Structure 1
Amino acid sequence: MHTDLVAALDIGGTKIAGALVDRQGRILVRAQRPTPAREDGETVMRAVDAVLDELTASPLWQRAGAVGIGSAGPVDATAGTVSPVNVPGWRDYPLVSRVRTAAGGLPVELIGDGVAIAAAEHWQGAARGHDNALCMVVSTGVGGGLVLGGRLHPGPTGNAGHIGHISVDLDGDLCPCGSRGCVERIASGPNIARRALDNGWRPGPDGDTSAAAVAAAARAGDPVAVASFERAARALAAGIAATATLVEIDIAVIGGGVGKAGEVLFAPLRQALTEYATLSFVHRLAVTPAQMGTDAGLVGAAAAALARSADAAVAAV
C-alpha cells in the first residue's frame, strides 16, 4: 500500500484535533475532542486515543506512513515527552510512545505548537517562498518557530524559536517562567488587557475585558487602549529584531488572537521595528499577518511528519 498520507495531531489546552493529510497539505479526514485539561494524565490520553481511534477507523488510514504531533509545551522531542503548562496532568508524559502504540507502530515526530505553526506558514501560508522566517503565535501566550536555510528548525528538543521568553525589559515584571520582562509578559492578550485596565481603561456595557475588546477600543481612538497595544508592539519589535539580528530572518509572521487585531498592532509594530532593527542586514525585514488560521497546527504537524519521512527515505538510499 502506498503511504502518501500522514496523520497529524494538534494538542492544546482547549482541544485535541486530528487529521489525515496528503502531501499537498490538504486535510482529508478530521477528528476532534475537547481537552480534559483539569483531569489526570490518563484521562487526557483517552481523549487523544479517541481522536486516533476515529482516524484509524477511516479506510484512508492504511495510506498513512507517519504521525506528526504539534503540542503545547514545553515538549522534549529527544525524550518523546510533553509537559504542557495548561495541562497539569501531563508532566514528562511519554506521549510519543503512547501515540506510536495507538497508531500501530508508525514513526512519530513531535514538535512544539509554535514550531508547528511555523511549519504550516512556511509550507502553505504567509512565509511561503521565504528561506529564513520567524512565525509567531500571539494569543494567551506568545510562542514561535523558525525556518532557517529553507528548512524547519525545531532544535534538539522541538522548542527552538520560543520568542515569548526572550527578555526585552531587563527590569520588567516577573514572568511566570521565572525571568523578567519577557515578550509574553508584555505582548500576550491577557497582559495587553491587564495593562489597559491598570491604566484606567474600562470595558463597555457588555463587560468584555479581553484583548479583542481593548483592540476595538483602540480602533475607536481610546488613548489607554492605543497605548497598551503600542507597548505590546514595542515588545514584539524588540524580540523580532533580536531574532533577525541573530539568525538573519527576512520575514516575521504573526498569528493568534492578538495578531487579528490588525493595524492597531501592526502599525506601531512596523514603526518600532525601524528603531530596533537598525543594522543594514535587517532593514528589509517584513512583518505580516499569518494566513493559515485554525488548521495551522494540524498542517504544521503534518509537514513535520512528511519532512521526517523524506529524511528517512534519503538515509535509506
Structure 2
Amino acid sequence: MTGIGILGTGAHVPDRVVSNDEAAAEAGVDDAWVVRKTAIRERRWAAPGQATSDLAAAAGRAALRSAGITAADLSVIIVATSTPDRPQPPTAAYVQHLLGAVDAAAFDVNAVCSGEVFALAAAEGVLRRRGGCALVIGADVYSRILNPADRRTVVLFGDGAGAMVLGLKGGARVRDISAHTFGELSSLIEVPAGGSRQPVDRAALDAGLQFFTMDGRAVRAFVEDRLPLLTKQFLHESGVGPGDVAHFVPHQANGVMLDAVFAELALPRATMHLTLTRYGNTGAASIPITLAEAARSGAFRPGDLILLAGFGGGMAVGFALVEW
C-alpha cells in the first residue's frame, strides 16, 4: 500500500476543436484514414499565447474544487510534462504562481506519456516527508512541436491537462505504483533539438530537428510486446487477479492499438475508458483527463479497482492501482 489517496480530480482542454481533415491538411491523408488507423476523430489545440502552464493551472483549479481544498493547503505541486513552457524554470513554478500556492514546493517530471504515474510516485515521497496535500498535473501542448507534414505524428496529438489532488488520509486509495524505463530504446520517441546535445540553431531548424519524431511501428511493437507482460506482472506483485480489475485507464495513444492490447490483457470484468476519440493523444495529460472524465460521469463505484497504465518515450512504462 502506498498510503496516499486521490482526494479530487480535474481536467481542462483548449476551446479550439481541430478536425482530422484540418490536422492532416499538409500530411496527405484524410479523415477516413485517421479514423481507420487511430480511432481519433478530433482533438483540441491550444490558442496562440496559451502555454502548458495555463492548461495545467486550469486543471489544477478544477481538481482543487473537486477535493474541496484551496491552494493554501498544498505542500507540493508536480507537473508531468514533456512540453514545458520553457526549458527552465520548471513549468510547475509558473503553475504555483498562477494558483497562488505560495507554500508549495514545485517541480516538473518528464517521463513523457508515462509522466503522471511517475509523478504519483514522486508525490508519495514528498507527502510522507512534508504532509499536507499534493497537486499532480499531467499537461502537454504537443501542437507546438508537431511537423504538419508528418502523418505519423500530426494527426495523433492534442493539447490538454489533467490533475489529481493527493493526500495521506481519505480519498480513493492508491494501492500500488510501479515504474520501468527501457533507456536502450530512447531513440524511438524524441525531439532531437532543443537540449545540450543539439541546440536549436539554424542547421537544426533547417533539418526540422525541433519537431517531435516517432518510429510508429517500433513503438507499437514495444507496446504490444511489453505492456501485456508488464501489466500481468504488476497485478501479480500487487496481489490482484485479472478478474478483480473493474476499470482500465490507459495512456490514450491510439485507439486501434489499445483495442488489441486490451484484448491481450484479458481483464474479464474491466471497462476500458477512452477519451482519445475527442481529444487525441494528450501526452502526460491523457491518463488524468480520462480518469477525471470517468469519475465525473459516475463510472466508478466504491471499492472498484482501477488500473492506470502509462507508456511512452524513454521508453517508459508506469502503472498505478487505485481502489475507489
Same-fold call, TM cutoff 0.5: no
By percentage of residues, which structure has more helix?
Answer: 1
* Structure of larger gyration radius: 1
- TM-score band, normalised by shorter chain: 0.3 to 0.5
By percentage of residues, which structure has more strand?
Answer: 2
Higher relative CO (CA 8 A, sep ≥ 6), structure 1 or 2?
Answer: 2
User: TM-score by structure 2 length?
Assistant: 0.33
User: TM-score by structure 1 length?
Assistant: 0.33
